[in-house]
Structure 1
Amino acid sequence: MIRRPFQMVWLSAALAGLAPPVLAHTHTPAQAATQPAEQTAWGIAGSTDASVRSIEIRMTDDMRFTPASIRVKQGETIRFVISNAGRKLHEMVIGTPGAIAEHAALMKKFPKMEHADAWMAHVLPRQRGELLWHFNRPGSFEFACLVGNHYAQGMRGMIEVTP
């Protein structure tokens, strides 16, 4: 009899080790400092060595960014200083409209997915965060919050990068 409960505990522990890792929507800073910069269609992680312009972004629980439209010149590095004025976790993710829509669909399918890349910043309620991005490609890009159904509720904005 004693042997059987021990075997059950051992079996449970062994099976737990085989389970896939739990995915969680992280609020840690982007991993840009520990990973090499990755060129994307919308730019590359910024460097503090470059001339940097700061733009303040405010996120609220009414599912809006302020400002919702930003103009940037190609070659500029922008430090987005992001404040979450709400009581919910929010994020700012930059990308092409297609990349944002694809990421939003993935987040809908896996709402607790862990992700941290240089083009996104997760900001806890009543906290501030930063995102440093170098816009080396011209075009129209989006920024959005993909937490929960925030994107579907209109939490998005536009970045116009001019040559």
Structure 2
Amino acid sequence: MSSPLNLAALVLALSASLSVGPVLAHSESHAKPQAQEVIKEQKPWGIAGDPEQVSRTIEIRMSDAMRFTPDRLEVKQGETIRLVHRNGGQVLHEFVIGTQDDLDKHAALMVKFPGMEHDEPYMAHVGPGKTGEIIWTFNRAGDFDFACLIAGHYQAGMVGKVRVVAD
């Protein structure tokens, strides 16, 4: 029969070994994601593009003044654009393309859950002094929006417009 002291040590050892997995899993979630195939899903504002199809590159600067430069883009329907985002600020910014309604809903969720993690081909998270990119095919004509949906940034006016002109 085991003594109560040995049983307590065994329980402690087992609980310590079981807690290591979640701790490691949590720390790994903050590592840079490995390259994986982009899931292409048609959105009202387009679809994830192929790097081989890029027709031009547009650089967009992000600042802690809560602005994008430029904040107005015009592209032709069917164009695949490489959007390069340069964060010249001291805080994390993001670039998310969508409709005004989609961005409003997403921004409201970001206020409620500021640590929310998401990764879609129409968004880029760019750390201070870093660069990110999106390759997007604008295959639907219309006026669309982009924004930084980090809590407070959207509300401070970190937004822009994309006009997709029909052929």
Range into which the TM-score falls when normalised by the shorter chain: 0.7 to 0.9
TM-score by length of 1: 0.83
**Alignment match, 2:137:** 134
Matched, 1:40 2:35: no
**Aligned residues of 2:89 and 2:128 also touching (Cα < 8 A):** yes
Unaligned runs of 5+ in 2: none
Q: Distance in 1 between matches of 2:106 and 2:30?
A: 15
Q: Distance in 2 between matches of 1:97 and 1:45?
A: 19
CA deviations over 1:74-127 (Å, ceiling 9, x no partner): 111111111000010111111111111121122222211121111011111111
**Alignment match, 1:157:** 160
Shift of 1:148: 2.8
Unaligned runs of 5+ in 1: none
The structure with higher relative contact order (CA 8 Å, sep 6+) is: 1
Matched, 1:81 2:90: no
**Equivalences for 1:63-78 in 2 at 5 Å?**
63-78=66-81
Q: Distance in 2 between matches of 1:89 and 1:27?
A: 15
Please state whether the residue corresponding to 1:49 is helix, strand or coil: helix
Given residue 123 of structure 1, which amino acid in structure 2 is its aligned partner?
V
> Rg: which structure is higher?
2
C-alpha change, 1:26 and 1:111, in structure 2 (3 Å) is farther
CA RMSD of the aligned region, Å? 2.9
Shift of 1:11: 4.8
Larger helix proportion, structure 1 or 2? Answer: 2
Shift of 1:51: 4.3
Q: Percent identity?
A: 46
TM-score by length of 2: 0.82
Runs of 4+ residues over 4 Å off in structure 1:
11-18, 25-31
Q: Distance in 2 between matches of 1:161 and 1:105?
A: 26
Greater alpha carbon shift after TM alignment, 101-110 vs 130-139: 101-110
Q: Distance in 2 between matches of 1:109 and 1:2?
A: 46
Q: 1:3 aligns with which of 3, 7, 12?
A: 7
State the number of aligned residues: 161
C-alpha change, 1:139 and 1:45, in structure 2 (3 Å) is same
